[in-house]
Amino acid sequence: MPADHLTESEAVPVEDAPASPDSFDVDPPYDPVDGPLPEDRFLDRELSWLTFNERVLELVEDPDLPLLERVRFGAIFASNLDEFFMVRVAGLKRRMAAGVAVRSVSGLNPREVLAQSLRTSHDLMLRQGEVFRRELVPALAEAGIALLRWNELTEDERKAASEKYRERVFPVLTPLAVDPAHPFPYISGLSLNLAVVIRNPTTGKEHFARVKVPPNFDRWVRVGPERFVPLDEVIAAHLDLLFPGMDVVAHHTFRVTRNEDLEVEEDDAENLLQALEKELLRRKFGPPVRLEVEESIDDQILDLLVSELDVTADEVFRLPGPLDLRSLNQVADLDHAELKFDPFVPGTHPHLAEVETASPADMFAALRERDVLVHHPYDSFATSVQRFVEQAAADPKVLAIKMTLYRTSGDSPLIDSLVDAARSGKQVLVLVEIKARFDEQANIRWARKLERAGCHVVYGMVGLKTHCKLSLVVRDEPDGLRRYAHVGTGNYNPKTARMYEDVGLLTSDTEIADDLTDLFNNLSGYSRHEDYRRLLVAPAGVRTGILDLIEREVEHHRAGRPALIRIKVNSLVDELVIDALFAASRAGVPVDLVTRGICTLRPGVPGLSETIRVRSILGRFLEHSRIFWFANGGDAQAWIGSADLMHRNLDRRVEALVQIPTAKHVDELGELLEKSVSDETSAWWLGPDGVWTRHHLAEDGTPLLDLQAWLIAKTRERRARQRHEAATDGRRPGAGTRAARGWPFGRRTSR
């Protein structure tokens, strides 16, 4: 890879970074060589993430969306913000406490970022509470779903709730008093609690007690047909049963968020599995980073909580009740199809349906004929990737299966298939990333199950998370061994595959199979192989590969050949890549970026990024694919894979991007990105000031194209066309001409 990929703005990381920055998830300091690029060209990472969650909140506020989908987005917004505090805010505080609080490339120091993050988060939570009370609750009531407070219940409903409380809830509760004999109790992270003040009627002395709302009950208690009241209000209405003989003076709901990121010193851990299990136990006791209280709380009670929990005034969030709106998922799950998106059932990819008979498609026969590029959830995960693994496990001609698992579902059929394959004598290698954040416990459980079945289980490489999504199947065929592979952008998780947008390549391409063989050997053994034919592999090769591809577009543009860069990722943070994109823009290369989450690049700045457009698409499916497309002088290339353009992906993870070998698939990916950034497509646009603006209506007020709805419609049209062809020519579904097959996009005749 050429070393001069940044001509005018070449930049290098600072050499004297703090020791062991990974321990604090610190992005390395960035010290660009003096040049013409402005110092304020980067936006702040944490504040950019908050603008992403603000876009989610805008979906909650959108009256044109189905009502229960707005409710669902409210739960997603709350859950997102919880994780932001548990990881990002906690990380900022840890870095400041540890003395590694370096100024970020945005020009802000961690203390300034923390202060702005707390202010912005509080404003967003108040805004969510406002839309919940003023819009969602009245709209739900109008639709026949009542979310009530205790004082709004009828007498009969109160009696029914009281009966449920006495039978099921009361026996579970444990009131904890605070006095010289009873120290202030530990408050677990994200738990909902009641702070209770009680008075001894004989002595007049007041006492404090804490009652934890049991998390193993539904938050919303049904008191009648589609009528609900929060469980904490039911408990509060019956506090006299918990404290008989005492007067209940006051009660207030509160909630604590704690640092729940993990620290595992892998170099010192002989057994990573055991070390991680111990650290998971410590996660429960992380220091508080946020205290949520109802806005009506007594100052005296609040002072006690602040003192005992050791939080600052800025970390106290006074909010309108109810707290913890993650519980809105329960409401969104109610059976009201008329208040949700129209149901969508993924279809089998036509190149896999072509070989269908009465039994499922023969995946290996299909892949011997051609590569298959699947686009989930529009193309079914179950009849493509899942079927690929299941058939490999059941096929007696398959000798070996190698696979990475980062996150999977609790009842994953893929795990069962791998277990069956090992028990039938196949060689099964599974690389389980047990450090996948918040899925550590589940991954430990699956790792042990796989080990017991005889699978070779590897826990990744020391110091690196293995984030790539790869599988390799070795099959004994009449003409010798043949290998089949899958490289994807999403996890091997059948449940999330129905909600996440991802792409994946199923192939028997020899060069890709060779690369995966080398990479799996690297991951499971002591190989130091770093040269690949069709792959870019982090931490050694993804950044340098992307920088070379960007520089090549600049060279094409200067030579008068077609040049265009289109990239779709979850997040764009890496300064070297951003500066390379700035250099490409200054050279005149058009750059289109689609980022769902964080983007620290400032687009549209005169003399810096005038040719760069940044879009963000949010909708019913979570946009999750990573696609890198380059015009390449008229011979377009595309890469897909697991890597976002962030330091953690490029420096601290094993990531893999695969070059798409089929020109038709390259065109299809290019057209998907072209549609994504079109001015006619509904999206958020990022301005040079760092402000995201939603563009979802045309000048005449009509809605712009909803990309996901358009893809759903194309999938349905494809399925109807297949059924029509089967009915008119007597052939089975999927047996039509190949010219009618493919993605929802047609082949481009010119570029």
Catalytic positions, written as ranges: 467
Contact (Cβ atoms closer than 8 angstroms) between residue 349 and residue 374: yes
Burial 651-676 (b: 16+ CB within 10 A, else e): bbbbbbbbbbebebbbbbbbbbbbbb
- Number of Cβ within a 10 Å radius of residue 229: 25
Residue owning tokens 């300091």: 29
Q: Who's near 657: CB < 8 A, 6+ residues apart? A: 535, 536, 537, 542, 545, 626, 628, 639, 640, 641, 642, 643
Nearest to 378 by CA among 723, 717, 68, 683: 717
Helix 413-423 vs helix 440-453: angle between axes, to the nearest 10 degrees?
Answer: 20
How many Cβ atoms are within 10 Å of 317's Cβ, its own excluded? Answer: 20
CA 251 to chain centre: 37
Whether the CB-CB separation of 488 and 356 falls below 8 Å is answered with no
Alpha helices in 454-509 (DSSP H): none
Tokens of 191: 């738990």
Place of tokens 């003040």: 197
Q: Residue 301 in contact with residue 250, Cβ under 8 Å?
A: yes
Give DSSP secondary structure letters for 136-185: IHHHHHHTT-EE--GGGS-HHHHHHHHHHIIIIIGGG---EEEBTTBPPP
> Mind giving me the DSSP string for 527-570?
------SSEEEETTSHHHHHHHHHHHHHHHHHTTS---EEEEES
Instruction: Annotate 275-314 with b (16+ C-beta within 10 A) or e (fewer).
Output: bbeebbeebeebebbbbbbbeebeeebbebbbebbebeee
